[in-house]
């Protein structure tokens, strides 16, 4: 055996802001690794890593949680920590390299590894910049008789609006008019009169992990031309996600009896009437990726240096990114069936081709070196369409109060392409028997209602309208129901870009040189538009309650939508000149 390695590392994380708050955790890791050369043509890599990340802690125990049996809990009182530690995080590694022919021209490589994720503090403390383990309202008033509170963390958030929100102990400038926002009150919230939202964590939270594996073959066609083809896959398990475990059931007897007042339809209303949305972080999500990757590399092959790469892949997950925890305010569309969120990832791109090349034009001696030293450079990117999702944040059709509803779609999702003017909208008439001016929307709503004119779906259609492209329609579901469309069923128009530059190199003696360049970004001035929601360049144009010209609108180039209007990132053609001196 050769090249044996072992090591140990640790890290400490500390957050100091409010002088009463000191949040920290520790992380430790140890590993052993051995590279074993089996003969002249085969090398085996073996490794094992162990990680231990301690539970997040606050110096004064100002963290809390929620228990379905106890209710609001505070660290240092009812519980010792917000969640139990996970102490079984072993991560094996294995890899190999095989020179199949023994001459170094064809090499087969493969590997497998398990990697654990370190959850960032934002996941625990900053859902919507309002809720987290440090703002569990254990100090809020939760009992009408005597106005008693449940603990000692007298924190919470209070939303204010108008010209003078200084009442209630909130210190705010009364000279500022028309303001709205969220502040920390100086007195405990009255959750009994106004049920409080909160966020907790599954006490049995485990460390999320990703399994990664790969297999590729690299062949040297010539000494300067190399082809590599490989397969890469990974599977994310126990990924962190947030759902509302107190989501309203609009069809519960208590909810119906009170006339859909929402609070009575919450599962924990009987035990904890002072709590509204109870967000809970847990190991509820998963992900998968499979990709075929091919790369052709040329090193000065008759003057051509090039890297051409093509990827055919499919990425699936249940949430786009941890900073968002879903499409909207951090929730799956239906927290009671969060498994339905599993679909193509926001970042899924089935096809991707990139070519980067430099060609040194053959030259010869001439006056002022003008017959030599010329080169052409280009970068070409052809990306397939990426998904975008639908999220109604304005209508509360499901009557759950979550404001992350989807509608019903009928037709071919490929025909529902975003445009610079949005997807055509047909307003409701207010008359359920003739809901809109679009006959396809009307007939589809009637079909959902079992052929009955003016049924519940038609009633909602008459109120909210629909979107239609040919025979493909998006209509609202009946009030109090979830839409049937899946997550991320639509795709954008892809991304195509070609950059080109021409350079002239000068050389004087051995120490001095210069290069003059003219560069064209998006040389063909091909129009690229941003994804309505999701992907690298998405923005918030995925809400059907937004009306005409909003929903499905790819209203800007990707660089502008990403608030980064610089050359080479999706905008219109740009030209620049450059001069570089070397000495």
3-state secondary structure of 7: strand
Q: Nearest to residue 58, comparing CAs of 155, 189, 140?
A: 155
N-to-C CA span, the chain? 48
- Gap between the Cα atoms of 334 and 403, Å rounded: 10
pLDDT single digits (tens) 247-301: 999 999 988 888 878 899 999 999 999 899 999 999 999 999 999 999 999 998 8
Residue 533 pLDDT: 84
- Gap between the Cα atoms of 152 and 164, Å rounded: 29
Residue 142 pLDDT: 80
**SS3 per-residue string spanning 253-284:** HHHHHCCCCCHHHCCCCCCCCCEEEEEEEEEE
In contact, 214 and 260? CB cutoff 8 Å = no
In contact, 513 and 582? CB cutoff 8 Å = yes
Q: Nearest to residue 200, comparing CAs of 254, 260, 138, 143?
A: 138
Query: CA 472, 473, 476: angle at the middle one, nearest 5?
Result: 160
Residue 126 pLDDT: 78
Residues 6+ apart with CB under 8 A from 205: 83, 84, 86, 240, 281, 282, 283
Residues 6+ apart with CB under 8 A from 17: none
In contact, 561 and 538? CB cutoff 8 Å = yes
In contact, 256 and 291? CB cutoff 8 Å = no
**DSSP labels, 366-393:** -GGGTTS-EEEEEEEEEE---EE---B-
Surface-to-core class of residue 58, CB atoms within 10 Å of its CB (0-12 exposed, 13-18 middle, 19+ buried): buried
Residue 570 pLDDT: 79
Question: Which residues of the chain fall below pLDDT 50?
Answer: 1, 16-17, 19-20, 154, 163, 165-184, 322-328
pTM (2 d.p.)? 0.87
Residue 524 pLDDT: 94
């Amino acid at each position: 055996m050769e090249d044996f390695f072992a090591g140990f590392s640790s890290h400490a994380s500390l957050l100091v802001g409010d002088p009463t708050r000191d949040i920290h955790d520790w992380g430790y890791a140890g590993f052993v690794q051995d590279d074993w050369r089996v003969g002249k043509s085969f090398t085996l890599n073996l490794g094992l890593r162990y990680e231990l990340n301690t539970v997040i802690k606050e110096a004064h125990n100002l963290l809390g949680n929620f228990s379905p049996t106890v209710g609001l809990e505070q660290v240092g009182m009812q519980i010792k920590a917000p969640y139990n530690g996970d102490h079984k995080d072993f991560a094996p590694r294995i890899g190999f390299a095989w020179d199949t022919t023994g001459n170094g021209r064809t090499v087969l490589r493969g590997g497998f590894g398990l990697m654990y994720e370190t959850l960032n503090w934002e996941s625990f403390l900053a859902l919507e910049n309002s809720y987290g383990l440090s703002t569990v309202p254990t100090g809020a008033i939760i009992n009408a008789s005597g106005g008693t509170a449940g603990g000692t963390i007298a924190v919470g958030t209070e939303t204010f609006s108008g010209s003078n929100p200084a009442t209630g102990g909130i210190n705010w400038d009364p000279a500022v008019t028309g303001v709205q926002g969220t502040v920390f009150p100086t007195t405990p919230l009255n959750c009994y009169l106004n049920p409080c939202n909160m966020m907790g964590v599954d006490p049995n939270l485990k460390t999320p992990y990703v399994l990664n594996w790969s297999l590729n073959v690299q062949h040297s066609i010539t000494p300067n031309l190399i082809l590599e083809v490989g397969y890469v896959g990974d599977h994310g398990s126990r990924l962190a996600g947030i759902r509302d475990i107190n989501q309203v059931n609009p069809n519960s007897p208590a909810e119906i009896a009170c006339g859909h007042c929402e609070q009575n339809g919450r599962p924990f209303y009987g035990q904890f009437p002072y709590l509204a949305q109870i967000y809970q972080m847990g190991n509820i999500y998963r992900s998968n990726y499979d990709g075929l990757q091919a790369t052709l590399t040329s090193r000065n092959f008759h003057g051509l240096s090039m890297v051409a790469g093509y990827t055919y892949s499919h990425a699936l997950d249940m949430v786009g990114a941890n900073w968002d925890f879903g499409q909207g305010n951090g929730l799956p569309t239906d927290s009671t069936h969060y498994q339905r969120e599993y679909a193509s990832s926001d970042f899924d791109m089935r096809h991707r081709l990139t070519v980067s090349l430099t060609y040194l034009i053959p030259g010869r001696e001439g006056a002022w070196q003008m017959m030599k030293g010329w080169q052409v450079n280009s970068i070409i990117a052809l990306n397939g369409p990426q998904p975008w999702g639908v999220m109604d944040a304005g209508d509360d059709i499901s009557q759950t109060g979550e404001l992350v509803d989807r509608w019903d779609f009928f037709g071919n999702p490929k025909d529902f392409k975003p445009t610079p003017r949005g997807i055509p909208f047909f307003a409701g008439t207010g008359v359920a028997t003739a809901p809109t001016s679009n006959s396809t929307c009307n007939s589809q709503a009637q079909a959902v209602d079992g052929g009955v004119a003016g049924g519940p779906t038609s009633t909602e259609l008459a109120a909210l309208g629909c979107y239609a492209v040919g025979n493909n329609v998006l209509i609202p579901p009946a009030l109090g129901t979830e839409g049937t469309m899946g997550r991320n069923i639509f795709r954008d128009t892809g991304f195509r870009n070609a950059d080109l530059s021409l350079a002239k190199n000068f050389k004087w003696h051995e120490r001095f040189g210069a290069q003059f360049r003219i560069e064209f970004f998006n040389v063909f001035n091909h129009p690229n538009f941003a994804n309505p929601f999701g992907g690298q360049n998405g923005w918030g144009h995925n809400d059907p309650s937004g009306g005409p010209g909003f929903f499905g609108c790819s209203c800007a180039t990707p660089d502008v939508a990403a608030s980064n209007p610089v050359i080479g990132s999706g905008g219109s053609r740009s030209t620049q000149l450059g001069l570089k001196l070397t000495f």
